[in-house]
Amino acid sequence: MSLTRRDFARTSAFTGAGIALAGSVGALATAPNALASTETGSAHTGRGDAPEHGRPEVGYGPLHPDPEGILALPAGFSYEIVTYSGKTRLESGEFTPSNHDGTSTFEGPRGTTLLVNNHELAGPRAKWTYPVPLTEGLVYDPAAAGGCTVVEVRRGHVAEWVGIAGTSTNCAGGNTPWGTWLTCEETEDKAGQNGMTKDHGYVFEVDPADRRANRAPKPVKALGRYAHEAVVVDPKRGHLYLTEDASGPNGLFYRWTPPAGFRHGHGRLRTLADDAGALQAFKCFDSGGRFVDDLSRATRTGTVYGVDWVDVPDRDARTVSTRKQFGDGQITRARKLEGMWWGDGGVYVVSSYARAESPVQHDGQVWFYDPRRRTLTLKVLLGVNPDPAQDGAFDGPDNITVSPYGGLVIAEDGEGVQHLFGATDSGRTYPIARNELNIGTEQKPEYSEFTGVTFSPDGRTLYANIQTPGIMVAITGPWKRQRK
SS (H, E, C) the chain: CCCCHHHHHHHHHHHHHHHHHHHHHCCECCCECCCCCCCCCCCCCCCCCCCCCCCCCCCCCCEECCCCCCEEEECCCEEEEEEECCCCECCCCCECCCCEEEEEEEECHHHCEEEEEEECCCCEHHHCCCCCCCCCCCECCCCECEEEEEEEEECCEEEEEEEEEEECCEEEEEECCCCCEEEEEECCCCCCCCCCCCCCCCEEEECCCCHHHHCCCCCCHHHCCCEEEEEEECCCCCCEEEEECCCCCCECEEEEECCCCCCCCCCCHHHCCCCCCEEEEEEEECCCCCEECEHHHCCCCCCEEEEEEEECCCCCCCCCCHHHCCCCCCCCEECCEEEEEEECCEEEEEECCECCCCCCCECCEEEEEECCCCEEEEEEECCCCCCCCCCCCCCCEEEEEECCCCCEEEEECCCCCCEEEEECCCCCEEEEEEECCECCCCCCCCECCEEEEEECCCCCCEEEEECCCCEEEEEECCCCCCCC
Residue 385 near residue 395 (C-beta atoms within 8 A): yes
Please give the pLDDT value at position 58: 87
Using one digit for the tens of pLDDT, what is the confidence trace for 311-346? Answer: 999 999 999 999 999 999 999 999 999 999 999 999
Of the chain, the percentage scoring pLDDT greater than 70 comes to 88
Position with higher pLDDT, 3 vs 370: 370
In this predicted structure, the answer to whether residue 401 has a pLDDT above a threshold of 50 is: yes
Using one digit for the tens of pLDDT, what is the confidence trace for 14-44? Answer: 333 222 222 222 333 333 333 344 444 433 3
Q: How far is CA 473 from CA 173, 433, 463, in A?
A: 19, 11, 6
Please give the pLDDT value at position 427: 61
Non-local (6+) Cβ contacts of 375 within 8 A are 8, 304, 305, 306, 307, 369
- For residues 277-286, average pLDDT: 98
Burial tier of 291 (Cβ tally within 10 Å: 0-12, 13-18, 19+): middle
Among 143-152, 381-390, 397-406, the minimum mean pLDDT is found in 381-390
Q: How far is CA 234 from CA 191, 252, 345, 388, in A?
A: 33, 18, 8, 36
Q: What does the alpha-carbon distance between residue 119 and residue 149 come to, in Å, rounded to a whole number?
A: 8
Whole-model pTM: value is 0.91
Using one digit for the tens of pLDDT, what is the confidence trace for 409-454? Answer: 999 998 889 999 988 776 677 899 999 999 999 999 999 999 999 9
